[in-house]
Amino acid sequence: MADSPSIIDRREYKFLIDRSTAEEVRRAIAPFCELDPFAATSPNKTYTIDTLYLDTDQLSLFWANDHEQVDRIKMRVRAYADAPKSPVFFEVKRRINDVISKSRGRVSRAAWHDVLADASAPLPEGLAPKDRVAVERFVSLARTLRVRPFTLVRYQREPYFSTIDDYARVTFDTNIRAHVLDRLSFEPEGNAWRNLDDAIAQRTLDSLVVLELKFTNHVPLWLVNITQSLGLVRRAFSKYGNSIRAFYSPPDHRVPRLGGWA
């Protein structure tokens, strides 16, 4: 995580799978991937990600994503809860058709709040050169669009990286939950978390795992073979979009039955 470049152009394929399929995927990627070193130090082989999503008062970024506009962005501040002294990351995730361009710049825990809370605040001192461009872009967009926090999304990530490709990642996200948060913080008041990946939210009989395959322009052949052999089918899953729907859409009172939902 610490050595990731500030700007990445890539593609992302998402799948919603059950836990038994996730175990099959783990076995299949073992010859090609290694567990991220940071996650490897955890007993459950995951780390916790906190993502604070920002949007305009009109939720224009959410609606652009919901309507699948060709060119759209998400703005988020990301932190790693298992490393409370680590920096936070200002991220702009831009999607044009199927290509993702993500800029990511780190800011110290002591400085990130003030630079976003005060529209006249200068950029934090001591930014590394590779982070400055990404931070400048984020702050410029934040002030131009006048975005503010809406939701905090927290989840467990089990990440793997390819040992044979320049850039390829496989991640499993679980225990995905969201909380309304309208201030610049990673600590919501109260305990009104809502699950985004459980059976109720996904209208399934069990909680699901969000599998993401990330790579550059060309899909590695081993990933193609794995998705085909396991019969994986791509399915959209927006953590931000689902978090907004969880709090601002009418509740769905249907319950799971053996034959489906009713």
For residue 191, what pLDDT is reported? 87
For residue 201, what pLDDT is reported? 63
Long-range own/partner contacts, residues 26-34 (CB < 8 A, 24 or more apart): 26/172, 28/226, 28/229, 28/230, 29/160, 29/170, 29/222, 29/226, 31/222, 32/162, 32/163, 32/164, 32/220, 32/222, 33/160, 33/161, 33/162, 33/163, 33/168, 33/170, 34/160, 34/161, 34/163
Amino acid present at 183: R
10-residue stretch averages of pLDDT, the chain, 262 residues long:
60 93 97 94 93 97 93 96 91 90 94 95 91 95 97 97 94 96 94 83 74 91 96 93 86 50 47
For residue 257, what pLDDT is reported? 53
Amino acid present at 28: A
* Domains of the chain and CATH, by start: 7-248 (3.20.100.30)
Q: What is the pTM of this model?
A: 0.88
For residue 7, what pLDDT is reported? 62
